[in-house]
Amino acid sequence: MLAAQPTLVTNKNYANVKAHRLLKRSDIQDKIQKNLEKMSKSAIKRIETLIQSEDEAIATTNAWKTIEHVRGKAVTRSINLHDSASIEDALFE
């Protein structure tokens, strides 16, 4: 078993170097970009279908999740007002 580990590490390193070299090539970058654009169009169509669902629960949930993803989760804010009064202040006004 110990003899197999250096080979595994060497193969992993080789794969990492090979992948790094491939990613530097402009033709590979173009293919990756085209595939990402294609997948994003498909994802947008899927989300649109879910948001326009006849089932109100599905439509609402997916609309909120989309808004949260794009704009971030809404922040709940509370305003606390504190005031103090004394009898002396009330009497001398």
Per-residue pLDDT, 8: 59
pTM equals 0.48
Q: Hey, what are 2's tokens?
A: 């110990």
H helices of the chain, in order, are 4-24, 26-51, 56-71, 87-91
Write the pLDDT tens digit of every residue in 11-28. 888 888 888 888 888 998
Alpha-carbon distance of 45 to 78, in angstroms, equals: 37
Neighbour count for residue 15 (Cβ, 10 Å): 10
The terminus-to-terminus CA distance of the chain in angstroms comes to: 90
**54 SS3 class:** coil
- pLDDT, tens digit, 9 for 90 and up, residues 38-81: 999 999 999 999 999 999 999 999 999 999 888 877 666 677 77
More confident residue, 5 or 89: 89
> CA angle at residue 7 from 5 to 10, to 5 degrees?
110
Q: Which of 1-5, 9-13, 31-35, 83-87 has the lowest mean pLDDT?
A: 1-5
